[in-house]
Chains A and B, each alone.
Chain A
């Protein structure tokens, strides 16, 4: 029954026009960046490398697909949560608003199974979005700009990653980005359980992300104790895969914090959904 219900959720997501807005937005945004880089990328890169040119000499194809992929990932990964929340925030509350929640909950399937099938479908949607993003940001960029060593400017300074060493780092970075976005999906599904309208959980999800991001960026001592536990702190952990040496401890810590958030928020969602009186 769980699998059937999950299949139902896939059909619903695939049939909603709003599910394709994410793909459209990613295609458009990445397309614009790729176009800009193709037109004026060298000037953009020389602006970054200018401070190193007195001490280092750069040879080969610096403006390559790997670098463009990294720049796009850095630019857009913070915007994708909105595209995810647009679909996942509607999974429960949208059914309540439409009245179809009554259809689902009067069938011989547990509420936990219904919610879990929505969670699985939401995560799969997130994964597909990430795949599309990866395809556009890295594969298309490599086709247009070729490959080469990846030059990354970290807090520690300039890191040069050899071309053969880049692919697994991108794969790991996208995997961690998926975990971050799955956390967002879980947050919006949880908020969706508390709402009877579609738009509320989407706005609330973005409000939480903005609030946590402000707490992250505000260099105020009072937030020092909570900062390590906010999921937004760990959403940029994918960048760690482009450090040398690899900060394994920080990466594992980020993975655990994100998984803990998913676990706690999913538990709250299940608890709420099981006790919810359906009055809509």
Chain B
């Protein structure tokens, strides 16, 4: 059985009369890329800040690496690298000096060569002596990742790491997270309000809304349980539609020239394809599109 790296148990945080997080529980296992999903204001950042002891919980417990955060704070934080909300650095210092400052209190001896290795890893080589005042958001985000990895942490916590990035920046950060998980075997907790982002990166996830966890589990299982829109490109699309509607009475089929859009589950795709082929229709492409927004909205509106 995989080792539990994070255990959030019945976590609640109240700010006066405002309930930010209410009885949230989830587990993250060794090697997971764990998605922490929810709309803005759902309580993601509050939960993450509590996991990093930036905020004290009103009730509940957080255990990391099998130990309670409240009693083993130093030991636990030495094994964590994180970016909370956005990577903020000292604007009047260079990238290199900022990493030196972070490294000096990271609990591990960080050499200059390690700092330069990290700067190179995130693609900022040549800019290490530049002051942060002149860095773009994307560059700060990269430096944030370098700071996160500086002391070779076992657990990486990234709060909305792609916010404010351009499409290329989003792809870069996504690839970097996948690389950290696959090549360096890091456990990653990733918060986001974008389901497609979590779907692309995470293997497990929890969805929270209004401070409460709604659902958690394997990403594939959670998303596969929902209907898809599957687009079959076929010749004689009108005939194919008529035939399929006779076979599957409760299935909704829409047609657009040679494209049949069918609402069905993942398991139905091979069956539909076989029927079409058996009836002599030529299927030239099959594309499945998940109704992510619908799924997400359905959950959070429950």
A-side residues, CB < 8 A to B, are 1, 4-5, 7-8, 11-12, 15-17, 98-100, 102-110, 275, 277-279
- The residues of A that contact B52 with a CB separation of less than 8 Å are 105-106
**Are B107 and A108 within 8 A (Cβ)?**
yes
**Are A109 and B84 within 8 A (Cβ)?**
no
Residue with the highest number of chain A CB atoms closer than 10 Å, among B91, B92, B104, B105: B105
Q: Would A103 and B77 be within 8 Å (CB), given that A7-B104, A108-B107, A279-B55 are in contact?
A: no
Q: Would A11 and B102 be within 8 Å (CB), given that A105-B53, A106-B84, A275-B56 are in contact?
A: no
Q: Mark B117-150, 1 if CB is under 8 A from A, else 0.
A: 0000000000000000000000000000001000
**Are B92 and A100 within 8 A (Cβ)?**
no
B239 interface residue, CB < 8 Å from A? no
**Are B74 and A15 within 8 A (Cβ)?**
no
CA distance A5 to B53 in the complex (A): 19
**Are A108 and B74 within 8 A (Cβ)?**
yes
Q: Nearest 4 pairs between A and B by C-beta?
A: A99-B88, A278-B54, A108-B107, A108-B78
B264 interface residue, CB < 8 Å from A? no
Since A108-B78, A275-B56 are in contact, a sample of 13 more A-B pairs with Cβ atoms closer than 8 Å, ordered by chain A residue number, is A11-B101, A12-B93, A12-B101, A15-B93, A105-B54, A106-B52, A107-B106, A108-B105, A108-B107, A109-B107, A277-B56, A278-B49, A278-B55
Q: Would A16 and B92 be within 8 Å (CB), given that A1-B105, A8-B104, A102-B54 are in contact?
A: yes
**Are B77 and A107 within 8 A (Cβ)?**
yes
- The residues of A that contact B74 with a CB separation of less than 8 Å are 108-110
- The residues of B that contact A278 with a CB separation of less than 8 Å are 49, 54-55
CA distance A106 to B106 in the complex (A): 9
**Are A106 and B97 within 8 A (Cβ)?**
no
From A17, A98, A107, give the contact of B90 (CB < 8 A).
A98
Majority-rule SS of B interface residues: loop
CA distance A107 to B88 in the complex (A): 14
CA distance A209 to B47 in the complex (A): 41
| Cβ contacts A to B, 14 pairs, < 8 Å | A1-B105, A5-B104, A8-B105, A15-B90, A16-B92, A98-B88, A98-B91, A100-B88, A102-B84, A106-B52, A107-B77, A107-B107, A108-B75, A108-B77
Q: Would A102 and B80 be within 8 Å (CB), given that A4-B105, A278-B54 are in contact?
A: no
Residue with the highest number of chain A CB atoms closer than 10 Å, among B15, B88, B106: B88
**Are A106 and B82 within 8 A (Cβ)?**
yes
B89 interface residue, CB < 8 Å from A? yes
CA distance A109 to B103 in the complex (A): 12
B116 interface residue, CB < 8 Å from A? no
**Are A103 and B106 within 8 A (Cβ)?**
no
CA distance A4 to B86 in the complex (A): 25
CA distance A271 to B21 in the complex (A): 25
CA distance A12 to B101 in the complex (A): 9
Number of cross-chain contacts by CB at 8 Å: 80
From A99, A105, A107, A279, give the contact of B102 (CB < 8 A).
A107
**Are A11 and B97 within 8 A (Cβ)?**
yes
**Which of chain A's residues has its CB closest to B83's CB?**
A102
**Are A99 and B86 within 8 A (Cβ)?**
yes
CA distance A8 to B56 in the complex (A): 26
**Are B56 and A102 within 8 A (Cβ)?**
no
**Which of chain B's residues has its CB closest to A274's CB?**
B56
**Are A106 and B54 within 8 A (Cβ)?**
yes
- The residues of B that contact A103 with a CB separation of less than 8 Å are 88-89, 102, 147
CA distance A100 to B91 in the complex (A): 10
From A100, A105, A108, give the contact of B89 (CB < 8 A).
A100
- The residues of B that contact A98 with a CB separation of less than 8 Å are 88, 90-91
**Which of chain A's residues has its CB closest to B107's CB?**
A108
- The residues of B that contact A110 with a CB separation of less than 8 Å are 73-74
In whole Å, how far is B64's beta carbon from the nearest beta carbon of chain A? 12
CA distance A99 to B85 in the complex (A): 10
**Are A100 and B90 within 8 A (Cβ)?**
yes
CA distance A198 to B83 in the complex (A): 23
- The residues of A that contact B102 with a CB separation of less than 8 Å are 103, 107
**Which of chain B's residues has its CB closest to A104's CB?**
B105
- The residues of A that contact B101 with a CB separation of less than 8 Å are 8, 11-12
From B80, B85, B89, B92, give the contact of A17 (CB < 8 A).
B92
**Are B56 and A108 within 8 A (Cβ)?**
no
- The residues of B that contact A106 with a CB separation of less than 8 Å are 52-54, 77, 80, 82, 84
Q: Mark B231-252, 1 if CB is under 8 A from A, else 0.
A: 0000000000000000000000
CA distance A277 to B97 in the complex (A): 27
CA distance A242 to B89 in the complex (A): 48
- The residues of B that contact A1 with a CB separation of less than 8 Å are 105, 107
- The residues of B that contact A11 with a CB separation of less than 8 Å are 93, 97, 101
- The residues of A that contact B76 with a CB separation of less than 8 Å are 108
**Are B107 and A277 within 8 A (Cβ)?**
no
- The residues of A that contact B86 with a CB separation of less than 8 Å are 99
CA distance A199 to B14 in the complex (A): 29
Residue with the highest number of chain A CB atoms closer than 10 Å, among B77, B93, B101: B101
- The residues of B that contact A12 with a CB separation of less than 8 Å are 90, 93, 101
In whole Å, how far is A21's beta carbon from the nearest beta carbon of chain B? 14
- The residues of A that contact B85 with a CB separation of less than 8 Å are 99, 102
- The residues of A that contact B77 with a CB separation of less than 8 Å are 106-108
- The residues of A that contact B15 with a CB separation of less than 8 Å are 277
